[in-house]
Structure 1
Amino acid sequence: MVEIGEFIIFLKNYFLSRLISAGQIFEGIKDIIVAFLIVKRGKYSSSFLNTSFLMIVAAAIVGGPIIAENTPFLQSLNNQNNYQALVVSYNPYGGSLGTVYSVKPEIVSYRVVAGDSLASIAKRFNLATNSIKWSNNLKSDLIKPGQVLSIPPFDGIIHKVESGETVYSIAKKYKVTAQNIVNFPLNDFVDIDTFSLNSGQTLFVPEGVIENKPVIQTQFIASIQAGVRGSSNFIWPTSGGITQYPVVYHMALDIANPSSPPVLAADSGTVVYAGCLNWGYGCHVIIDHGNGYQSLYAHMSSYSPNIGDSVS
């Protein structure tokens, strides 16, 4: 190791001395070269420029590829040019062509099974209950096994166009804007400029609603007579179907009468209560038939008899 260190020091001193000698020689001849160039100035300028230009061209030819290969910026530009060349030279007719058909949402038919309800079916199809109810013209939420329901592909209303209807009349009917119907991609029109419709075609009304018709409350109408005793023969007090029979927690008979016929006394008797509450029976009347029976008429909007009146 000592010998290697001494050799390195020797080399260092040798090269240093040679550089110093070369510098001294250059200093000695520098003045001679300068004087010669001053005397000959202009004579070699053309040759010098031509030689310099040729050297620059040669350096560009030789060193250009080396610089390009080792410069990331130039590589990215080359890649971009390659991409552009690929795009320009692409032949769209070189391969096989085909039509891609989009899947158009359609109305689905669903058969009700035991245990189903409108709410559970709506949840299964991610819809609002009213959307299924309106699409099937259901008057209530009651459904039965085996019943086939039309399930819309969206929340809203499926409307079958009738003669004379327009986009504007349908939009007004279902409380939406005409633009809402026109913009829906599943709707087709006879004339795209006037948005005319064909009678019988199906039109989708997104976000449409059907307003419930105002229900006319039943009124208590009874003929008033004095001193009437019940016959124990009860009559049907009004027309309509039974919506609920008596059970332990609901000892009453619910009768639906959407056509609003008069409500009559089921048998002759005397009114022992007539009034309205904010809970329970609401506006109701109780009749004592004088034979151990009483009848109660509840959930009315108004009533005619007063306490103590006799009715038949």
Structure 2
Amino acid sequence: MGVLLAGAMVNLPLAPPFLSGLTQEVLVERPPQKGWVLYRVQPGDTLASIANRYGVDLRAILWSSGLSSDRLQVGQEIKIPLTAYEERPPRIPPGVVIHKVRPGETLALLADRYGVSLLDLVSANPGLESLDRLMEGSPLYVPKGQKGLLVELAKGQTLVDLAARFGLSPLEVVRANGVKDPLAIKPGDLVLLPGIQAKTTYQRLLAKQEEERRARLEALRRQEEERRLAQARLRREAQMRAQARPPQVQKPVVRRVSYQEGGMRWPLSGFRITTYFGQRGAFQRFHTGVDLAAPYGTPVYAARGGQVEVAGWSGLGYGLHVILDHGGGVETLYAHLSRIAVRPGAWVEAGEVIGYVGSTGWATGPHLHFEVRVEGSPRNPLAYLP
């Protein structure tokens, strides 16, 4: 049995002289896993703190050093027995169970399942980073008995020190952890501090949860706004392509279409036609609709039931205008309005007011520019009107 002074010293027997030139292997037995450390007492030392520091039983130091009491004097030399022992897993207080987190589980779901509060779970797991995002397979401590703060005993710390730090009596902590001897708790063991709650950590996690919720809502709002803008851009591009497409040559004879084939009603009452569909002159643009002159503010009606596709300002000369989608590739356009009475996405019936006559956009006086489009191509509106 050896003595360790200021570190470990292992004494091995020297090989006999007659073996010095041989090359065979020599088996040396493992040194005994037992010995002493000679320790000189420092100011502030207690027998309990020294025993906890070296991980030995206080009574073993008393016996090895021949002491009759735990009173120590500064400079006194004592023997601390060191005995090898098998490592044991960290101790968990009675009433605390370990739950392995499964995919999709949240703290609220587990609190409801085990019948404990969110604050109780946070207090038993003060290292949590989120209430909603738990790492799959990670251990979660659930206090099914005594509730309190669950902490790991640090190296060089005793259960008595820990109790004093939180204003608890050592006896109360010993009972909550199901031990008789405070020295039975080793560094790395989990200690339950009864009645102590991690309220600050809980409030921080709640604030983080709300922040994450708002971030998700903002991301959804941005996605919806981008989708809406993309749809509007596609509609504008389709409209520009339709207007840039060469108009079809119309026969001088207008073919009347029955209502079943797409017939419509006049969008105004009390008007006169000032410009017809077709070519207006050698140097003038092809007129893609009919112009119906009427007093400023005259109600404009839907020529046929459908859904409002566009209701707003046009940069292509239409000014305030409305486009209705009647299905089957048929659309109607009402331009130069003074005011719009419908919103995009709304459904309207034939004869419902959708706006009022004006002169916005490229217009020299109050009138309604009315168009009929089939698959994006302008058609003569008179073929669809009674």
* Common topology (TM > 0.5): no
Bigger Rg, structure 1 or 2: 1
Judging by fraction of residues, say which structure has more strand: 2
Q: TM-score, normalised by structure 1?
A: 0.30
Q: TM-score, normalised by structure 2?
A: 0.25
